[in-house]
Structure 1
Amino acid sequence: MIRVAIDAMGGDLGPRIAFQATEKIVAAFTDVEAHFYFDPQEFDFPAESPSSRIIPVACHDSVSSMEVVDRSLFKRVDSTIYRSLADMSKAKADVVVTFGNTAAMVALARHIVGLLRPKLYPALIREMRPNPLRCLVDLGANVHCAAEMLNGFALLGASYVEARSDSEANVALLNVGVETSKGSSVIKECYQMLSEQAWPKFSGFAEGFELFSGEKNVIVCDGMVGNAVLKASEGLFMFLLSQLPKHSMDTSAIEKLVQAESRHGACLVGIKGNLVKGHGRSDLQAMMGAIEYGIDIARTNLYKRIETKLTQQGVL
């Protein structure tokens, strides 16, 4: 039985939509047990649960998406995100899925679950395309990044790709051009680091148009750039879908293509557990997609496979 801990608080649409997504997931997957972490002040859990495989976990605190993270976060032991991560650290859950505050999630994951290696900073990875697998890392877990951190993202991203597919990782740093003379001092320093390492395969710089196609399947950047790139891409897609019908153009083919290629949610890699972050603005379908992704990585215990890969390469 796959045990999914769902932090129902923090999403823009509230816990009611998260509960609906949970109902549908449990109905679709007979080998899944959902532990539903909620705040009774915000959501009335049904007196009669629709399924014995939806386990209510009432918490009396939650971290909103607008909150600024400070040291007091580590004392909020009855918040939904804290308790879900604590239960995973105690092997009571196989994966945590949250739609809440990213900064709180990262800080508590580091504090409660722990890092695979000190100073190997955890990063959010998003699958840009599934077949062949290609990923973007980081998406917002880290904003101000030194060259050593970017190098760590490359190692985590390469491990993710090789743990999730049969492909060899081919890493590139996102930059304003592919020429070695371009980029910031941080990017150039990381370029030198990756060039001197035996693993992973490093192909220099990548430009924005290489995110969705080409041989470079792990694109590395700092969290601010990655988050902006991802949301700009998603925003352009939504804009096109809204505008094309005005010109009598059928968008069904585009919608099917994106549905087949997209992956809802991002995986926080570099911690000793499986953790998925969904968009705060996720609707029902997006929440279901993020939970399905969590189930997918829990089935193979992805963090352990990444840990094994890093150990084999002498990183851990």
Structure 2
Amino acid sequence: MSRPIHISIDAMGGDQGSRLVVDATLAFLQFHPDVVVTLVGDECFLKQSLPESLHADILSRVFFLHAEDTIAMAEKAGDALRSKQSSSMWRAVALVAEGHADACVSGGNTGALMAIGCKLIGTFDGVRRPAICKLIPTYSGTSLLLDLGANINCSAEQLEQFGVMGSALAQLGGVQRPSVALLNIGTERSKGSSTIQAAAEALRARDDIAFAGFIEGNDLYSGKVDVVVCDGLVGNVALKVSEGVVNLVMASLAETFRASIGRRLLGWALRPILSNWRKSFNPTRYNGAAFLGLRRTLVKSHGAADKEGFEQALNAAVGQVVARIPERIEACLERR
């Protein structure tokens, strides 16, 4: 791009505090000289969080927008829409909606972020609500999973739209013709609810989608398909269960290797292998969920993300801007 990419950041969102957001942003800017950011929040506190030794080049690419209010994690989306126009989240999204920034990243209240995004940015024609989508690790690389909680009760038309939007996003990773599957209780064509059956027929009829049929939960991480589509309830449960299993396995391994001196020595010998395994499946590597269906780029960072995780969310936002994902999704939807 001829001009710098501008990212607006809700610096007051998330569980870890604004200092982590500032530290992650500064670390991110060291590797992205073509990016400028606007930190939105308590301007005085945010400026005080900057290190005195900050390089002048990085400082010149950091701007501030004061916001005197925040949106709590437990706050209802409707309440945020009615009374939180002065919040850091609202003003960060507004920068994108008004064309001053190319993308927004927030680790705050998911429901409020989606509601504000729909209100200020808007969805594409025919898209009632955006879908939350993110990468998941697989045996052969990564796949995209959506929806992850934005839409609990989905129509067949929505599931079809999710498949179209997920396919467009998968092309960001260089997949020429991404395979798309519906998460179901079986792979047979007769399985599933009437809604899933109707969605399958709609996807099967599209010549711009490589529909692979149904996929079961045990194959979610197999890498057999590039995009896995489901409603928000199923997707959110699947994701949270997966994160819980990873944490259980890691904790169990650590406890096993602490059980005796012999096992500690074995753990030390296996450390390079275990380190690579942990790196491959660490949820931090896949942080940054996109709201697909919005007219501009809006990325949700996990509220509990660490510094590396928030950096990854910023990377995800830049990647979508460079690849012009919203525009590509709109073009795919128009080919219906």
- Asked if TM exceeds 0.5, the reply is yes
**Separation (CA, whole Å) in 2 of partners of 1:44 and 1:299:** 28
SS in 2 for 1:111: helix
> Residues 261, 8 of structure 1: CA spacing in aligned structure 2 closer, same or farther, 3 A cutoff?
closer
Query: What TM-score do the two structures reach when normalised by structure 1?
Result: 0.90
Aligned residue pairs, count: 312
1:170 CA displacement: 1.4
RMSD: 2.4
SS in 1 for 2:8: strand
SS in 1 for 2:152: coil
Partners of 1:123 and 1:137 within 8 A in 2: yes
Of 13-22 and 132-141, more deviation after overlay is shown by 132-141
Of 218-227 and 176-185, more deviation after overlay is shown by 176-185
The residue that corresponds to 1:145 in the other structure is 154
Partners of 1:128 and 1:212 within 8 A in 2: yes
Pairing of 1:172-211 with structure 2 (within 5 A): 172-211=181-220
SS in 1 for 2:60: coil
1:59 aligns with 2:67: yes
The residue that corresponds to 1:46 in the other structure is 48
**Pick aligned residue for 1:220 from 229, 232, 251:** 229
**Separation (CA, whole Å) in 2 of partners of 1:110 and 1:188:** 29
**Separation (CA, whole Å) in 2 of partners of 1:120 and 1:69:** 16
The residue that corresponds to 1:263 in the other structure is 286
Pairing of 1:90-105 with structure 2 (within 5 A): 90-105=98-113
Q: Write the deviation string for residues 45-104 of structure 1: whole angstroms up to 9, x where unpaired.
A: 328774121111110122111101216514532211211111112221111111011111
> Residues 151, 7 of structure 1: CA spacing in aligned structure 2 closer, same or farther, 3 A cutoff?
same
1:120 CA displacement: 4.8
1:280 CA displacement: 0.9
1:156 CA displacement: 1.0
Q: More helix by proportion, 1 or 2?
A: 2
Of 228-237 and 273-282, more deviation after overlay is shown by 228-237
SS in 1 for 2:233: helix
**Pick aligned residue for 1:106 from 90, 102, 114:** 114
Q: Write the deviation string for residues 17-71 of structure 1: whole angstroms up to 9, x where unpaired.
A: 1111112112232222111011359x45328774121111110122111101216
Partners of 2:243 and 2:283 within 8 A in 1: no
Q: Write the deviation string for residues 81-132 of structure 1: whole angstroms up to 9, x where unpaired.
A: 2111111122211111110111111111111111122335311111124975
1:199 CA displacement: 3.0
The residue that corresponds to 2:248 in the other structure is 239
Partners of 1:128 and 1:261 within 8 A in 2: no
Q: Report which of the two structures shows the higher radius of gyration computed on alpha carbons.
A: 2
The residue that corresponds to 1:36 in the other structure is 39
1:276 aligns with 2:303: no
Of 211-220 and 66-75, more deviation after overlay is shown by 66-75
SS in 2 for 1:45: helix
**Separation (CA, whole Å) in 2 of partners of 1:243 and 1:260:** 17
SS in 2 for 1:141: coil
Partners of 2:151 and 2:231 within 8 A in 1: yes
Partners of 1:113 and 1:272 within 8 A in 2: yes
Structure 2: segments with no counterpart, 5+ residues: 258-266
Structure 1: segments with no counterpart, 5+ residues: none
Q: Write the deviation string for residues 204-253 of structure 1: whole angstroms up to 9, x where unpaired.
A: 21011222224321110011111111122122112211211222244313
Partners of 2:43 and 2:65 within 8 A in 1: no
**Separation (CA, whole Å) in 1 of partners of 2:331 and 2:15:** 36
The residue that corresponds to 1:160 in the other structure is 169
What is the letter of the counterpart of residue 5 of structure 1? S
